[in-house]
Structure formats: C-alpha cells, structure tokens
Structure 1
C-alpha cells in the first residue's frame, strides 16, 4: 500500500488549519476572546461568545499578516 496522494490544495489547507489552531490555543487569543466576550455580553450583543471568538481570531490573523509584511520589506 502506497502513500496517499495529497495535492497542493490540501497542503495549503493543512497549513491554514495549523496556523488557526496555533492562534486559537495561544494565551493571547484566549485572553482577548475572554475580554471581548465580557464587553459584548455587557453590551447585550447576541451570541457574544461567537462574536468574541471571531473578532479575536480576525485580530490575531491580521496582526500576524502585518508582522509578516514588515519582515518582507
């Protein structure tokens, strides 16, 4: 039995999943998510925990992208 063939799309998807997993397990992400969840809940936002998760993830991905761009220049 040979090794499974994994195309470029799956390799890229695997990298994205690893990146997101690393971010979501970081202390920075967990602290930001908790802080945002409290703020959103206090403001009466529906689904405060989901919004907090999304916004924290977006913020850290955007921050990582900016850091990568600075190293490329």
Structure 2
C-alpha cells in the first residue's frame, strides 16, 4: 500500500535525479520507485479515493520531426 497514485516522469527526470545523487537504473532494478520520485517531488498523491480500479495509463508524446525520422 502507498499514498501515491503514481508519478510523473519526463525527458528531464533522469537528469534532475542525477543532480540529486539518485540513480534511476538502481531504483528501477530494486522496484523502488517511491523514494526516487518522492525525492524529485514528482509523486502523484490524490488522497483517499475509496476505489481500487488498478488502471495504468501511459502517454508517450514525440516531437513530430523525430517521429518522421524514425
């Protein structure tokens, strides 16, 4: 159980983490995302919702020029 509903990660997350002395790969290997994102201030906390739907939504956005080149 956790008080976080998820976290926000973007193109700057790993760089900001490194500046704080955090290693994203180490946290990922340990399935230890909560303290990683908590240190960055990127946890999503909504408070109690009294639901348990277990949905996962991932949004990937690419720059149009990058998408065309690939």
TM over 0.5: no
| Max Rg structure | 1
Which fold has the larger relative contact order, with Cα–Cα distance below 8 Å and residues 6 or more apart in sequence? 2
Q: Tell me the TM-score normalised to structure 1 length.
A: 0.26
> Normalized per residue, which structure has more helix?
1
Q: Tell me the TM-score normalised to structure 2 length.
A: 0.26
